[in-house]
Structure formats: C-alpha cells, structure tokens
Amino acid sequence: MPFTVYYPDTPPLPLPPGHRFPADKYLRLKHAVLAAGIVHPSQLIPSPLATAALVACVHDTDYISAVFEGRLSRDIEARIGLPWSPVLLARALATVGGTMAAARDCLTAGFSGQLAGGTHHAHRETGAGFCVFNDCAVASSTLLAEGKIERAGILDLDVHHGDGNATILRDEPRVFVVSVHGENNYPFDKPPSDLDIGLPDGTTDNGYLSACREALDAALATRPDIVFYIAGVDPLVSDRLGRLAVTHDGLIARDRMVMLACRRAGVALTTVIGGGYGEPIDETVTAYANTWRTARAVYAPSRF
C-alpha cells in the first residue's frame, strides 16, 4: 500500500438545525476520494480511539474527565461551539487516534494522514473553535516522549491561527510551530507561535503561496523528523469563514509545494485536513479531495 489513510468512522454529530458546523463534510469527503479512485478502499482504515492517558500528555486531567463524563461547563461548551454528546466524545478520540496512527505510519512510509484532524484550537484546559482535544500536539508530544523522533514541525496552513498549538507547545523547543492565517480572523487573541504569518483580508494566490513558502522553509530549516501538515482549505475565496481569496489552483499549488519539499528533504509528512466551511460545502469537499489527489501524485504516482 502506498500510504494509509485514517478515517474517524463515527455516527454523524447530532447538531441542532441551522448549526453552522458542516459535520457532513467528512463523510462526503470519504465518499469523494473513494469514488474518484484517489484512495483505494484497502488504504482507508478506521481511526483508533485515543485513550484518556494518551490525551493527558498535553491536556489537563480535570478537563479530560469533564469531556469523558459529559459534564463540560456552559462556558467551555460554548467555546467549543458543539453540544456535548457521546458521538462528540467518540469523534474527538478518533480524531486524536487517527492522527497518532498516521504519524506512526509516516515515520516508515514517508507519508500518511487522515480525513479529519487539525484540531488546533484546543488548549491544555479547554476546547475551542469546534476542537475538543489537540491531535497534533498529542501526537508530536507522544512521539518525542517515546524517543521515536528528536524534532517535529507543525505547519499550520489553516486560515485560522493555531492558538492551541501555540499555548500547549510554547515550552517545547523540539516542536517548531508555524501558523499562516488571516490576521483579522478567529481567534482574535493570537498567542505567539514560533513563527506567525498573518495575512490581510482578500489575500490572493500569489501572496498566500509566498507566505506558505516562507513558513515551509522555516519549518524545514529546523531539520524535523516529521512535519504535521494542517492543510485547511478555508483560505478558499468561497469559504464563508475564511476572508481570504485563494483559488482551488492556489491550494493545489500549496499542497504540492509542501509535499514535494518534504519528500525531497526526506522528512516524514502526516496530513490532516483542518478547517473548511465553503458556501456551498461542495467547494470544501472538492478542495479536501484535491489535497489527497496531490498526495497520490507526489507519493505514489505509479502505484495506483
């Protein structure tokens, strides 16, 4: 198998009518990559559920207990923006477990990832911004603790600043965190990462790709053993929460740039999909699928 793709195979999130989180995008993405032959069914593996002990490497135990027991405060549930349910818990654990499994795989295969993840707004003691637990922080910290890697990079190209990555990993010099994001977008409090590149509203392909190149070069300059790539597609001009003006071609060029650079440098890459809130949501699903189509072209051009 050229690479393994994990998928959080949980029931749909039970959300109230009119909720702005497009929870069905994950299942639609799964169907899209299978129908297009981008991913073979044998490559698609259910994401294992993370344990409380695993997420405790970066999250507060009282917060973990509240999530597991369904007793989140109103304030924390409001910050997360999703009502607690057993499905939300299962999905949060599958998201972390999928990124953890993909990270382990890519250390030997060179590339792996999951059709979810990038929960970069979750902080040590709280979730936020549709994120419950922080998957990339958990996975990078676990691999370091196990001695599987010496250094990691988190290349966060989601349109929203990765505030949870910044706060959780600010005292971890072995993880280089870089965020390219809309300067005027959520979250409005942006704690410093190792490198932050804020972009003005309306930034188009050229400006966006220039910033991504700067971020990529900085991450690879630290000589990481693994890069966690948060390939958010919310920079799209059609994204209702993005405020940038990047095209599908711009995102494809971004993905190809990141993947080719990591492959040429011999750096393991694990990709998570990050945010996407297109109007219509078909635009988001198409952009997500393009990321995996690019991965196929870069990492397995003759093996499908």
pLDDT digits (tens, 9 = 90+) for 155-180: 999 999 999 999 999 999 999 999 99
Q: Which amino acid is at 122?
A: A
Cα–Cα distance for residue pair 209/266, rounded to 1 Å: 22
Tell me what pLDDT residue 66 has. 98
Say if residue 2's pLDDT is above 90.
no
Domains (range + CATH), the chain: 5-9+22-299 (3.40.800.20)
Q: What is the DSSP string of 42-94?
A: GGEEEPPPPPHHHHTTTS-HHHHHHHHHT---HHHHHHHTS---HHHHHHHHH
Least confident range from 12-21, 46-55, 92-101: namely: 12-21
Tell me what pLDDT residue 303 has. 43
Distances from the Cα of 173 to the Cα of 87, 140, 180, angstroms: 35, 12, 19
Tell me what pLDDT residue 1 has. 56
Say if residue 288's pLDDT is above 80.
yes
Tell me what pLDDT residue 300 has. 84
Helices (H) and strands (E) in the chain, counts: 10, 8
Q: What tokens does 81 get?
A: 């923006």
Distances from the Cα of 199 to the Cα of 77, 165, 202, angstroms: 29, 19, 9
Tell me what pLDDT residue 51 has. 98
Give this prediction's pTM.
Answer: 0.97
Say if residue 302's pLDDT is above 60.
no
From its phi and psi, is residue 243 left (phi > 0), alpha (psi between -120 and 50) or beta?
A: left
pLDDT digits (tens, 9 = 90+) for 54-113: 999 999 999 999 999 999 999 999 999 999 999 999 999 999 999 999 999 999 999 999
Beta bridge partners of residue 45, listed in sequence order: 6
